[in-house]
Protein backbone atom coordinates (compact mmCIF):
# COMPACT_ATOMS: atom_id res chain seq x y z
CA UNK A 1 0.00 0.00 0.00
CA UNK A 2 2.92 2.34 -0.61
CA UNK A 3 1.64 5.41 -2.46
CA UNK A 4 2.74 8.95 -3.23
CA UNK A 5 0.34 11.87 -2.76
CA UNK A 6 -1.05 11.62 -6.28
CA UNK A 7 -1.65 7.88 -5.99
CA UNK A 8 -3.25 8.30 -2.55
CA UNK A 9 -5.61 10.98 -3.84
CA UNK A 10 -6.55 8.76 -6.77
CA UNK A 11 -7.17 5.79 -4.46
CA UNK A 12 -9.42 7.86 -2.19
CA UNK A 13 -11.25 9.37 -5.15
CA UNK A 14 -12.08 5.96 -6.62
CA UNK A 15 -13.16 4.63 -3.21
CA UNK A 16 -15.48 7.62 -2.75
CA UNK A 17 -16.90 7.16 -6.22
CA UNK A 18 -17.70 3.51 -5.53
CA UNK A 19 -19.26 4.33 -2.15
CA UNK A 20 -21.39 7.18 -3.54
CA UNK A 21 -22.61 5.07 -6.44
CA UNK A 22 -23.45 2.09 -4.23
CA UNK A 23 -24.95 3.78 -1.16
CA UNK A 24 -26.61 6.93 -2.56
CA UNK A 25 -24.60 9.30 -0.36
CA UNK A 26 -26.25 7.90 2.77
CA UNK A 27 -24.10 7.36 5.87
CA UNK A 28 -25.61 5.27 8.65
CA UNK A 29 -25.21 4.82 12.39
CA UNK A 30 -26.93 2.90 15.18
CA UNK A 31 -28.20 4.48 18.39
CA UNK A 32 -26.99 2.01 20.99
CA UNK A 33 -26.31 1.22 24.61
CA UNK A 34 -23.12 -0.66 25.53
CA UNK A 35 -23.66 -3.43 28.11
CA UNK A 36 -20.33 -4.84 29.40
CA UNK A 37 -21.94 -7.91 30.93
CA UNK A 38 -18.51 -9.05 32.09
CA UNK A 39 -14.94 -8.03 31.39
CA UNK A 40 -13.57 -11.30 32.75
CA UNK A 41 -12.06 -13.25 29.86
CA UNK A 42 -10.24 -16.51 29.21
CA UNK A 43 -7.96 -14.82 26.67
CA UNK A 44 -5.19 -12.34 27.47
CA UNK A 45 -4.47 -10.17 24.43
CA UNK A 46 -1.42 -7.97 24.89
CA UNK A 47 -3.22 -4.81 23.75
CA UNK A 48 -6.53 -5.23 25.60
CA UNK A 49 -7.39 -2.74 28.34
CA UNK A 50 -10.89 -4.20 28.83
CA UNK A 51 -9.97 -7.64 30.14
CA UNK A 52 -9.92 -8.37 33.86
CA UNK A 53 -9.46 -11.38 36.15
CA UNK A 54 -12.05 -12.21 38.85
CA UNK A 55 -9.85 -10.85 41.65
CA UNK A 56 -9.33 -7.45 40.01
CA UNK A 57 -11.13 -4.65 41.86
CA UNK A 58 -12.66 -3.33 38.65
CA UNK A 59 -13.84 -6.72 37.37
CA UNK A 60 -17.43 -6.53 36.10
CA UNK A 61 -20.12 -9.19 36.28
CA UNK A 62 -23.52 -7.55 35.83
CA UNK A 63 -26.73 -9.08 37.12
CA UNK A 64 -29.96 -9.03 35.13
CA UNK A 65 -31.52 -6.22 37.17
CA UNK A 66 -28.51 -3.98 36.49
CA UNK A 67 -28.84 -4.69 32.79
CA UNK A 68 -32.59 -4.06 32.72
CA UNK A 69 -32.26 -0.76 34.58
CA UNK A 70 -29.81 0.51 31.96
CA UNK A 71 -31.81 -0.84 29.04
CA UNK A 72 -35.11 0.65 30.22
CA UNK A 73 -33.45 4.04 30.66
CA UNK A 74 -31.98 3.76 27.17
CA UNK A 75 -35.35 2.87 25.65
CA UNK A 76 -36.81 6.12 27.00
CA UNK A 77 -34.14 7.90 24.95
CA UNK A 78 -35.20 5.98 21.81
CA UNK A 79 -32.10 3.79 21.80
CA UNK A 80 -32.74 0.65 19.72
CA UNK A 81 -29.50 -1.35 19.89
CA UNK A 82 -28.36 -3.23 22.95
CA UNK A 83 -24.72 -4.16 22.39
CA UNK A 84 -23.85 -7.00 24.75
CA UNK A 85 -20.07 -7.09 24.77
CA UNK A 86 -18.20 -9.42 27.10
CA UNK A 87 -15.03 -11.23 27.87
CA UNK A 88 -15.03 -14.70 26.35
CA UNK A 89 -16.36 -17.73 28.27
CA UNK A 90 -14.72 -16.83 31.59
CA UNK A 91 -16.00 -19.98 33.31
CA UNK A 92 -13.69 -22.12 31.16
CA UNK A 93 -10.65 -20.50 32.82
CA UNK A 94 -11.86 -19.47 36.27
CA UNK A 95 -13.45 -21.97 38.67
CA UNK A 96 -15.01 -19.17 40.73
CA UNK A 97 -16.96 -17.95 37.71
CA UNK A 98 -18.15 -21.47 36.92
CA UNK A 99 -19.34 -21.81 40.52
CA UNK A 100 -21.02 -18.40 40.44
CA UNK A 101 -22.93 -19.35 37.29
CA UNK A 102 -23.95 -22.67 38.82
CA UNK A 103 -25.36 -20.92 41.89
CA UNK A 104 -27.27 -18.60 39.54
CA UNK A 105 -28.70 -21.66 37.76
CA UNK A 106 -26.60 -21.67 34.58
CA UNK A 107 -24.30 -24.32 33.16
CA UNK A 108 -22.35 -21.84 31.05
CA UNK A 109 -21.85 -18.14 30.50
CA UNK A 110 -23.57 -18.38 27.11
CA UNK A 111 -26.67 -19.71 28.89
CA UNK A 112 -26.58 -16.63 31.09
CA UNK A 113 -26.28 -14.35 28.05
CA UNK A 114 -29.29 -16.12 26.55
CA UNK A 115 -31.35 -15.42 29.67
CA UNK A 116 -30.27 -11.77 29.68
CA UNK A 117 -31.35 -11.45 26.04
CA UNK A 118 -34.69 -13.09 26.78
CA UNK A 119 -35.35 -10.70 29.66
CA UNK A 120 -34.44 -7.64 27.57
CA UNK A 121 -36.95 -8.60 24.89
CA UNK A 122 -39.65 -9.32 27.47
CA UNK A 123 -39.20 -5.98 29.25
CA UNK A 124 -38.82 -3.65 26.25
CA UNK A 125 -40.71 -2.75 23.09
CA UNK A 126 -38.15 -1.34 20.66
CA UNK A 127 -34.81 -2.77 21.81
CA UNK A 128 -32.88 -5.19 19.58
CA UNK A 129 -29.76 -7.08 20.59
CA UNK A 130 -26.35 -7.44 18.97
CA UNK A 131 -23.88 -9.72 20.73
CA UNK A 132 -20.11 -9.63 20.65
CA UNK A 133 -19.21 -12.22 23.29
CA UNK A 134 -16.29 -14.09 21.75
CA UNK A 135 -16.05 -17.37 19.87
CA UNK A 136 -19.24 -19.47 19.85
CA UNK A 137 -19.89 -22.88 18.36
CA UNK A 138 -22.70 -23.70 15.96
CA UNK A 139 -25.10 -24.90 18.66
CA UNK A 140 -24.53 -21.82 20.82
CA UNK A 141 -25.20 -19.52 17.88
CA UNK A 142 -28.32 -21.47 16.97
CA UNK A 143 -29.50 -21.13 20.57
CA UNK A 144 -29.04 -17.34 20.54
CA UNK A 145 -30.51 -16.60 17.11
CA UNK A 146 -34.17 -16.25 18.28
CA UNK A 147 -33.11 -13.43 20.62
CA UNK A 148 -30.51 -11.44 18.70
CA UNK A 149 -30.81 -9.68 15.34
CA UNK A 150 -27.09 -9.83 14.66
CA UNK A 151 -23.79 -11.04 16.06
CA UNK A 152 -20.21 -9.93 15.78
CA UNK A 153 -16.67 -11.24 16.02
CA UNK A 154 -13.61 -9.40 14.77
CA UNK A 155 -11.32 -11.53 12.64
CA UNK A 156 -8.61 -9.00 13.58
CA UNK A 157 -5.97 -10.57 11.34
CA UNK A 158 -5.52 -13.65 9.16
CA UNK A 159 -1.91 -14.07 10.30
CA UNK A 160 -1.09 -17.05 12.51
CA UNK A 161 2.22 -15.30 13.16
CA UNK A 162 0.47 -13.00 15.66
CA UNK A 163 -0.21 -16.06 17.84
CA UNK A 164 3.48 -16.94 18.27
CA UNK A 165 5.33 -16.37 21.59
CA UNK A 166 5.83 -12.68 22.30
CA UNK A 167 3.16 -11.64 19.79
CA UNK A 168 -0.20 -9.97 20.60
CA UNK A 169 -2.26 -13.18 20.72
CA UNK A 170 0.21 -15.61 22.28
CA UNK A 171 -1.99 -16.07 25.39
CA UNK A 172 -5.27 -16.02 23.49
CA UNK A 173 -5.97 -19.45 21.96
CA UNK A 174 -9.27 -18.45 20.35
CA UNK A 175 -7.65 -15.54 18.53
CA UNK A 176 -6.21 -18.10 16.13
CA UNK A 177 -7.61 -17.08 12.74
CA UNK A 178 -8.85 -20.58 11.84
CA UNK A 179 -11.07 -20.64 14.94
CA UNK A 180 -12.48 -17.19 14.22
CA UNK A 181 -13.07 -17.93 10.55
CA UNK A 182 -15.01 -21.04 11.53
CA UNK A 183 -17.43 -18.96 13.61
CA UNK A 184 -17.87 -16.45 10.80
CA UNK A 185 -18.71 -19.32 8.43
CA UNK A 186 -21.09 -20.88 10.96
CA UNK A 187 -22.97 -17.59 11.16
CA UNK A 188 -23.40 -17.84 7.41
CA UNK A 189 -24.74 -21.37 7.67
CA UNK A 190 -27.31 -20.15 10.23
CA UNK A 191 -28.13 -17.00 8.23
CA UNK A 192 -27.21 -14.66 11.06
CA UNK A 193 -26.42 -11.07 9.96
CA UNK A 194 -22.80 -10.70 10.99
CA UNK A 195 -20.28 -7.98 11.77
CA UNK A 196 -16.56 -8.62 11.55
CA UNK A 197 -13.45 -6.66 10.72
CA UNK A 198 -9.75 -6.11 11.19
CA UNK A 199 -7.65 -4.43 13.86
CA UNK A 200 -5.08 -2.20 12.19
CA UNK A 201 -1.64 -1.68 13.67
CA UNK A 202 -1.07 -4.60 16.06
CA UNK A 203 2.02 -5.86 14.28
CA UNK A 204 0.54 -7.20 11.07
CA UNK A 205 2.11 -6.49 7.70
CA UNK A 206 0.28 -4.59 4.99
CA UNK A 207 0.01 -7.83 3.01
CA UNK A 208 -1.55 -9.62 5.99
CA UNK A 209 -4.01 -6.77 6.42
CA UNK A 210 -5.18 -7.02 2.82
CA UNK A 211 -5.27 -10.82 2.92
CA UNK A 212 -7.54 -10.58 5.95
CA UNK A 213 -10.01 -8.46 4.00
CA UNK A 214 -9.98 -10.86 1.06
CA UNK A 215 -10.59 -13.82 3.39
CA UNK A 216 -13.67 -12.06 4.79
CA UNK A 217 -14.84 -11.36 1.24
CA UNK A 218 -14.36 -15.01 0.30
CA UNK A 219 -16.68 -16.10 3.12
CA UNK A 220 -19.24 -13.43 2.29
CA UNK A 221 -19.23 -14.45 -1.38
CA UNK A 222 -20.14 -17.97 -0.26
CA UNK A 223 -22.78 -17.17 2.38
CA UNK A 224 -23.88 -13.55 1.87
CA UNK A 225 -24.41 -12.83 5.57
CA UNK A 226 -21.74 -10.27 6.46
CA UNK A 227 -23.39 -6.90 6.96
CA UNK A 228 -20.40 -4.77 7.85
CA UNK A 229 -16.63 -4.84 8.00
CA UNK A 230 -15.03 -2.67 10.66
CA UNK A 231 -11.65 -1.10 10.03
CA UNK A 232 -10.52 -0.37 13.59
CA UNK A 233 -7.32 1.40 14.49
CA UNK A 234 -5.33 0.01 17.40
CA UNK A 235 -5.17 2.37 20.37
CA UNK A 236 -2.51 1.77 23.06
CA UNK A 237 -4.03 1.19 26.50
CA UNK A 238 -2.31 2.10 29.76
CA UNK A 239 -1.25 -0.93 31.79
CA UNK A 240 -1.11 -3.34 28.85
CA UNK A 241 1.95 -4.99 27.35
CA UNK A 242 1.46 -2.89 24.20
CA UNK A 243 1.00 0.43 25.98
CA UNK A 244 4.00 1.94 24.16
CA UNK A 245 3.21 0.38 20.78
CA UNK A 246 2.73 3.01 18.09
CA UNK A 247 -0.84 3.24 16.70
CA UNK A 248 -1.41 3.36 12.94
CA UNK A 249 -1.31 6.75 11.26
CA UNK A 250 -4.36 8.44 9.79
CA UNK A 251 -2.87 7.85 6.33
CA UNK A 252 -2.62 4.11 7.06
CA UNK A 253 -6.27 4.11 8.07
CA UNK A 254 -7.40 6.02 5.00
CA UNK A 255 -5.54 3.63 2.70
CA UNK A 256 -6.94 0.57 4.47
CA UNK A 257 -10.51 1.89 4.42
CA UNK A 258 -10.25 2.76 0.73
CA UNK A 259 -8.89 -0.67 -0.17
CA UNK A 260 -11.65 -2.31 1.87
CA UNK A 261 -14.23 -0.29 -0.07
CA UNK A 262 -12.74 -1.38 -3.39
CA UNK A 263 -12.65 -5.02 -2.26
CA UNK A 264 -16.25 -5.14 -1.02
CA UNK A 265 -17.82 -2.52 -3.32
CA UNK A 266 -21.60 -2.56 -2.67
CA UNK A 267 -21.67 -5.97 -1.00
CA UNK A 268 -20.84 -4.92 2.58
CA UNK A 269 -20.89 -1.70 4.61
CA UNK A 270 -17.51 -0.35 5.67
CA UNK A 271 -17.29 1.21 9.13
CA UNK A 272 -14.54 2.95 11.09
CA UNK A 273 -15.06 4.12 14.68
CA UNK A 274 -15.30 7.93 14.92
CA UNK A 275 -14.21 8.01 18.58
CA UNK A 276 -10.75 6.59 17.88
CA UNK A 277 -9.53 9.31 15.50
CA UNK A 278 -9.55 13.06 16.17
CA UNK A 279 -10.01 13.82 12.46
CA UNK A 280 -12.59 11.09 11.91
CA UNK A 281 -14.47 13.15 9.32
CA UNK A 282 -11.66 12.33 6.87
CA UNK A 283 -12.86 8.72 6.87
CA UNK A 284 -15.67 9.97 4.63
CA UNK A 285 -13.03 10.72 2.00
CA UNK A 286 -11.88 7.08 2.02
CA UNK A 287 -15.22 5.38 1.42
CA UNK A 288 -16.89 4.49 4.72
CA UNK A 289 -20.68 4.41 4.70
CA UNK A 290 -21.27 3.77 8.40
CA UNK A 291 -20.17 5.27 11.72
CA UNK A 292 -21.09 2.26 13.85
CA UNK A 293 -22.93 2.31 17.14
CA UNK A 294 -23.08 5.61 19.02
CA UNK A 295 -24.26 5.64 22.63
CA UNK A 296 -25.85 8.72 24.21
CA UNK A 297 -25.53 7.27 27.73
CA UNK A 298 -22.72 4.70 28.06
CA UNK A 299 -19.00 4.92 27.40
CA UNK A 300 -16.95 2.80 25.03
CA UNK A 301 -15.75 0.27 27.61
CA UNK A 302 -13.14 -1.08 25.19
CA UNK A 303 -11.62 2.39 24.71
CA UNK A 304 -12.91 4.30 27.77
CA UNK A 305 -10.78 7.39 27.20
CA UNK A 306 -12.25 7.90 23.74
CA UNK A 307 -15.80 9.29 24.01
CA UNK A 308 -18.18 8.95 21.10
CA UNK A 309 -19.10 12.17 19.32
CA UNK A 310 -22.60 13.45 19.97
CA UNK A 311 -25.04 12.31 17.31
CA UNK A 312 -25.86 15.94 16.50
CA UNK A 313 -22.18 16.64 15.91
CA UNK A 314 -21.89 13.53 13.76
CA UNK A 315 -24.88 14.70 11.72
CA UNK A 316 -23.37 18.15 11.17
CA UNK A 317 -20.02 16.68 10.13
CA UNK A 318 -21.64 14.19 7.76
CA UNK A 319 -23.86 16.82 6.14
CA UNK A 320 -20.94 19.24 5.76
CA UNK A 321 -19.34 16.69 3.42
CA UNK A 322 -22.52 16.41 1.36
CA UNK A 323 -23.96 13.24 2.86
CA UNK A 324 -27.19 12.33 4.65
CA UNK A 325 -27.02 10.67 8.08
CA UNK A 326 -29.63 7.97 8.68
CA UNK A 327 -30.20 5.80 11.70
CA UNK A 328 -30.20 2.03 11.23
CA UNK A 329 -30.87 -0.90 13.52
CA UNK A 330 -28.19 -3.38 14.64
CA UNK A 331 -29.43 -5.41 11.67
CA UNK A 332 -28.54 -3.60 8.45
CA UNK A 333 -31.30 -2.31 6.14
CA UNK A 334 -31.01 -4.96 3.42
CA UNK A 335 -31.35 -7.80 5.94
CA UNK A 336 -34.50 -6.37 7.57
CA UNK A 337 -36.51 -7.50 4.54
CA UNK A 338 -34.94 -10.98 4.28
CA UNK A 339 -37.16 -13.39 6.22
CA UNK A 340 -34.50 -16.09 6.67
CA UNK A 341 -32.19 -13.60 8.37
CA UNK A 342 -34.71 -12.33 10.95
CA UNK A 343 -36.05 -14.93 13.37
CA UNK A 344 -39.84 -15.01 13.60
CA UNK A 345 -39.48 -14.05 17.26
CA UNK A 346 -38.06 -10.67 16.18
CA UNK A 347 -39.78 -9.86 12.87
CA UNK A 348 -42.65 -7.78 14.23
CA UNK A 349 -40.29 -5.64 16.30
CA UNK A 350 -37.96 -5.06 13.37
CA UNK A 351 -40.79 -4.15 10.99
CA UNK A 352 -42.31 -1.78 13.55
CA UNK A 353 -39.11 0.26 13.51
CA UNK A 354 -38.02 0.37 9.85
CA UNK A 355 -39.28 2.16 6.77
CA UNK A 356 -39.57 0.70 3.28
CA UNK A 357 -35.80 1.05 2.79
CA UNK A 358 -34.83 -0.62 6.07
CA UNK A 359 -33.76 2.57 7.86
CA UNK A 360 -35.26 3.60 11.20
CA UNK A 361 -38.59 5.37 10.71
CA UNK A 362 -38.43 9.12 11.26
CA UNK A 363 -40.93 8.85 14.14
CA UNK A 364 -38.45 6.72 16.07
CA UNK A 365 -35.40 8.88 15.35
CA UNK A 366 -34.01 11.49 17.70
CA UNK A 367 -32.73 14.62 16.00
CA UNK A 368 -30.02 16.11 18.18
pLDDT of 366 reads 87
Bridge partners of 259, per DSSP, are: none
- Whether 149 contacts 346, CB under 8 Å: yes
What pLDDT shows up at residue 1? 59
Give the per-residue pLDDT at 359: 98
How far apart are alpha carbons 322 and 17 in whole angstroms?
Answer: 13
CB 144 within 8 Å of CB 345: no
Question: Residue 368: inside a domain, yes or no?
Answer: no
* Residue 161 domain-assigned (yes or no): yes
Say how many domains are in the chain. 1
Residue 282 belongs to a domain? yes
Q: What pairs with residue 197 in β-bridges? A: 230
The domain of 49 spans: 5-361
pLDDT band at 157; cut points 50, 70, 90? very high
- pLDDT at residue 2 greater than cutoff 70: no
CB 28 within 8 Å of CB 269: yes
CA distance 298 to 181: 30
In a domain, 34, yes or no: yes
Answer whether residue 229 is part of any domain.
yes
Residue 302 per-residue DSSP state:
S
Q: What is the pLDDT of residue 161?
A: 98
Residue 367: inside a domain: no
Provide CB contacts within 8 A for 214, sequence distance 6+.
263
How much is the mean pLDDT over the chain?
A: 97
164 and 173 Cβ atoms separated by less than 8 Å: no
Of residues 44 and 367, more confidence is placed in 44
85-112: average pLDDT: 98
State the pLDDT at residue 6: 87
228: CATH:
3.20.20.70
Amino acid sequence: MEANDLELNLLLHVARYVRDKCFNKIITYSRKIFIPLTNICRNRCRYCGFRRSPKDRDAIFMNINEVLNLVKHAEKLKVKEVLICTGEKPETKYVEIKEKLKIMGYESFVEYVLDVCRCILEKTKIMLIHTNIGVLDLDEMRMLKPYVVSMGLMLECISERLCLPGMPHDESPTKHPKIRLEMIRNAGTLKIPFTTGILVGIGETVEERVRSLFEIKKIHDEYGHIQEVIIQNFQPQKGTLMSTHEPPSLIDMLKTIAIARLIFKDKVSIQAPPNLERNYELYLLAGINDWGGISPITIDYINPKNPWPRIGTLRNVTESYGYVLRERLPIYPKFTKMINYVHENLRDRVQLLVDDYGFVKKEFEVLE
